[in-house]
Amino acid sequence: MENIGIDISSHYSKSVKKFLSRKFDYIVIVCGQAGRACPVFPGIARKIHWSISDPAQIEGTQEARLEAFHSARDELTHRLEILRGKIKFEKILGPSEKTVPLFSIASRIFP
């Protein structure tokens, strides 16, 4: 992330259990297995599943592994920008369905 000007040196992994008592408007699940093993978050308005390859599972050279992380980061950035646009429209138009596929979001924002 440093190569795009974002310092995450103080960040660390947190257990999902830490967040179970909090309320969220959206939950974004980014791994195939997480969709099946994701805990229930009471009161969430929308659950979104994005199937993104886990870059930590890539084997090969350091360069290939770094490229996998960059690709995952860039894909998440793109999808989050689309989601941000959807949320802005929702504030104007009202909420949509509880599970929102990315392509549904994109087709509403970019017809």
Residue 28 has pLDDT above 70, yes or no: yes
Dihedrals phi, psi of 23, to nearest 5 degrees: -100, 140
So what's the pLDDT on residue 68? 93
Task: Read off the pLDDT band of 99 (50, 70, 90).
Answer: very low
Nearest to 27 by CA among 38, 36, 37, 18: 38
Residue 17 has pLDDT above 50, yes or no: yes
Give bridge partners of residue 99 from the DSSP assignment. 47
Residue 65 has pLDDT above 90, yes or no: yes
Structure-block tokens of residue 15: 């257990």
How many CA atoms lie within 13 Å of 11's alpha carbon, on the beta-carbon side?
A: 6
Nearest to 20 by CA among 3, 2, 42, 37: 42
Out of 10-19, 23-32, 83-92, 97-106, which region has the weakest mean confidence (pLDDT)? 97-106
